[in-house]
Chain A
Amino acid sequence: MTKDDTLGDTVQTPATTALARWLARATRAQDVRVARYERLPGGAIQDNFLLDVDIRGGPWHGEHAFVLRTDAPTGVAASLSRAQEFAVLRVAHAAGVTAPKPLFLCRDTAVLGREFFIMKRLPGVAQGHRLTREPALVPDGAALARELGANLARIHAIRPPWSDAIKRAAHAFTDTPSAAGDGEIDAIAPPPTHPALATIVEYRSWLDKLDDAYPALEWGLRWCERHAPATFDIALIHRDYRTGNYLVDEGRLAGVLDWEFAGWGDPREDIGWLTARCWRFSGVEREAGGIAPIEPLLQGYESAGGVAVSRTDLDYWQVMAHLRWAIIALQQAQRHMGGGERSLELALTGRIVHELEYEVLQLITRSGA
């Protein structure tokens, strides 16, 4: 730590020095001071850092509150690179989705050792157990659910191929010196022929990489295969749109976070994930993410142009949601059991698989098989 005559504290470590130098180039500034650089809690897959900077000179002159996002040491299957995530977030933000504005992408691993991007920091609370338990944070759950639904519909309005309008809007973000171009956006996995069946194939391939076998998960996947919807849509989907991954500020939706799993799929997959029992935290009886009943969510979604979602669709994609979370939890448990990353949190994540299996079987029975 060194003290500057005119500014507050400046953080000087090899990382912040390299970061400040890079950011000065990116913002065409004379000088950049890093006032705060701290790891944010809760990133099992990505590392997020709070970043406060003072930029002197150039178009960004002034103090800024940013979040820097980079890869955690061990990744999980099917997550985007930071460049891809940056590109997707840029397109989503340009399409009017409530999300942090992505600002700068750095693909040069010489700066921090890993790719990273910087986005605007938004206010609010994301923790699921708080949002589903503290009425002061969510005074009107139905209103928040409507906002969540409408916002999700705006993501799902992005269809392959990218429309010219969205491309133009994305290119309007010329702030960044090394913007991810169309090439990277196109490099995300192409739209599937049949989204549900493609998802099942993918989940089976993940299961096959594990050491043990899981009959309940296998049974759930077989059920999903036999009950795969005949008709479907294909849109940009977020794949982690749930309570815990969005910020709520003064009772309103402030921004949707964590875009690393985004890709093409059936929009109902996102609805199933958001409403699955495993993501309701303390509000298990409130189907819309533990926040509200299902109706306001679907009203908000459909009134903003979202696809029709039936009870059958909800059951189907909630089964799929529990399967997905179970397999990801097993992957996390394997990081611990494999010895690469011994961690009580990862070990306990593995133990939630039993609940997820139980829920899959309950849902299948309830839906009348």
Chain B
Amino acid sequence: MRDISDAADLMTTAREALLRDLLPALSGERRYAALMIANGMAIAAREHRLGTDASRNEAARLRNLLALFPRDAAESSGDPPTGDVPALRKVICAAIRAGRFDAHESAVGNALAHTAADWVAISNPKALRT
């Protein structure tokens, strides 16, 4: 137990206040706007709790995929820095488009599905299916 609210708790508490104290007074377009704000706050709170792990796991999965095939020196020189998810995504995307992962369907499918599920758990956990 901590003494002071962290970002996730502040966001969650602010959202609860919005829904409890303001929403009942709103209708029509304003009610819709308040629900959108509440949704944005809920996503931000979940990302604060889960986002670091999601990024770290995504980076690890993408690096594992890159390790699936031997690479020549020219490619290795373009290796993204460890943990740089946007750079890793770019390298993986280029390899997918070039067909280099075609022989690794289940490995790629599984890795990407786990990553997608991690991010759905942040953006809209209701959409997850077991």
Contact = CB atoms under 8 A, between A and B. Distances in A.
Interface of A: 41, 204, 212-216, 218-219, 221-222, 226, 344-345, 347-348, 351-352, 354-355, 357-358, 361-362, 364-365, 369
Contacts of A352: 123-124
A214 B85 CA distance: 11
A358 B40 contact: no
Contact of A215 (B43, B89, B105): B89
B81 interface: no
Contact of A219 (B36, B37, B108, B128): B108
- Name which of A215, A221, A358, A369 has the most chain B CB atoms within 10 A of its CB: A215
A351 B116 contact: no
A215 B93 contact: yes
A222 B40 contact: no
Nearest to B61: A215
B30 to A, nearest CB: 12
A213 B92 contact: yes
Contacts, number: 84
B129 A214 contact: no
Interface string B102-130: 10011011001101110110111001110
A357 B112 contact: yes
Contacts of A364: 109
A213 B62 CA distance: 13
B109 A369 contact: yes
Interface string B16-55: 0000000000000100010011011001000000000000
26 contacts: A212-B86, A214-B89, A215-B62, A215-B92, A215-B93, A218-B96, A222-B96, A222-B101, A222-B102, A347-B40, A348-B36, A348-B39, A351-B43, A352-B123, A352-B124, A354-B116, A354-B120, A354-B124, A355-B127, A357-B112, A357-B116, A357-B119, A358-B119, A361-B109, A362-B129, A369-B106
Contacts of A362: 113, 129
Given A213-B86, A222-B102, A362-B129, 11 more contacts: A216-B112, A222-B97, A222-B101, A344-B36, A344-B40, A345-B36, A354-B120, A354-B124, A355-B124, A358-B120, A361-B113
